[in-house]
């Protein structure tokens, strides 16, 4: 259950943000302190399943064939690539970049991970979109559904970074619970927990910012 203060912060944000003709993204701006971000151990790199998703349909691609490929299509996956497709995409950088930009998440059967790294690592890696490995026997539909509610937080070498936690038209309590889930995971990933957090603001894409922490 979301804390009352977090709910109040989001209500204030939504009240003060200009009304648009579309639902803006609601984001967190996270500012860290007292960390040497040139050291990889201090960087935040977390995949988080939001309790209420992002309020929109994410596009997912799956590298698989046979029964797993069919399961992926039944789960509503737009792009299902086989091992042959991986090599073809590796030779067509323009199409590979288009798909990498279009899709939010990638999932791959474990046996394809090395091939994907060789052919598509240079495109997917910098975007933080290397595939989630699918272990043998794991239902790809379950992984797809989890991925649809997942976000990836990557600070890289910066003390300040942003992450989307929902949309303006979502229920306020759901947005608050998403925020608290992210804050909890960020604190856990830092050497000194909340003492490494300088401040956190919640903001809409084109609107106001309100301090959370």
Q: Please spell the DSSP secondary structure of the chain, one letter per residue.
A: ---HHHHHHHHHHHHHSPP-SS--EEEEEEEE-S--TTSGGGS-EEEEE-TT--SSPPPEEEE--HHHHHHHHHTT-SEEE-HHHHHHHHH-HHHHHHHHHH-SEEEEEGGGHHHHHHHHHHHHTTTT-PPEEE-TT--HHHHHHHHHTEEEEE-TT-SEEEEEEEETTS-HHHHHHHHHHHHHHHHHHSTTGGGGEEEEEEEETTS-EEE--
Residues 65 and 125 both lie in one domain: yes
For residues 192-203, give the mean pLDDT.
95
* Mean per-residue pLDDT of the chain: 91
Domain boundary among 132, 148, 164: 148
Residues 81 and 160 both lie in one domain: no
The whole-number pLDDT of residue 1 equals 53
Residues 201 and 123 both lie in one domain: no
Residues 139 and 84 both lie in one domain: yes
pLDDT digits (tens, 9 = 90+) for 46-68: 989 999 998 887 889 999 989 99
Residues 206 and 174 both lie in one domain: yes
pLDDT digits (tens, 9 = 90+) for 139-195: 999 888 888 888 889 899 999 999 999 999 899 999 999 999 999 999 999 999 999
Name the residue range of residue 12's domain.
4-54+150-211
């Amino acid at each position: 259950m979301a804390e009352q203060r977090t709910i109040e912060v989001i209500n204030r944000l939504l009240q003060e943000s200009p009304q648009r003709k579309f639902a803006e993204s609601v984001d967190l701006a996270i500012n860290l302190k007292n960390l040497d971000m040139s050291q990889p151990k201090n960087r935040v790199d977390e995949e988080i399943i939001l309790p209420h998703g992002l309020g929109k349909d994410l596009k997912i691609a799956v590298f698989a064939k046979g029964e797993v490929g069919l399961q992926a299509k039944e789960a509503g996956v737009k792009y299902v690539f086989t091992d042959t497709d991986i090599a073809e995409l590796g030779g067509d950088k323009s199409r590979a970049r288009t798909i990498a930009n279009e899709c939010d998440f990638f999932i791959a059967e474990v046996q394809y991970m090395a091939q994907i790294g060789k052919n598509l690592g240079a495109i997917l890696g910098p975007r933080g979109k290397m595939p989630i490995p699918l272990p043998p026997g794991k239902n790809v539909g379950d992984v797809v559904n989890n991925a649809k509610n997942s976000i990836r937080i990557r600070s890289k070498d910066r003390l300040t970074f942003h992450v989307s936690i929902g949309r303006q038209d979502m229920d306020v309590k759901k947005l608050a619970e998403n925020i608290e889930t992210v804050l909890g995971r960020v604190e856990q990933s830092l050497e000194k927990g909340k003492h490494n957090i300088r401040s956190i603001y919640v903001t809409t894409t084109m609107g106001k910012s309100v301090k959370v922490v």
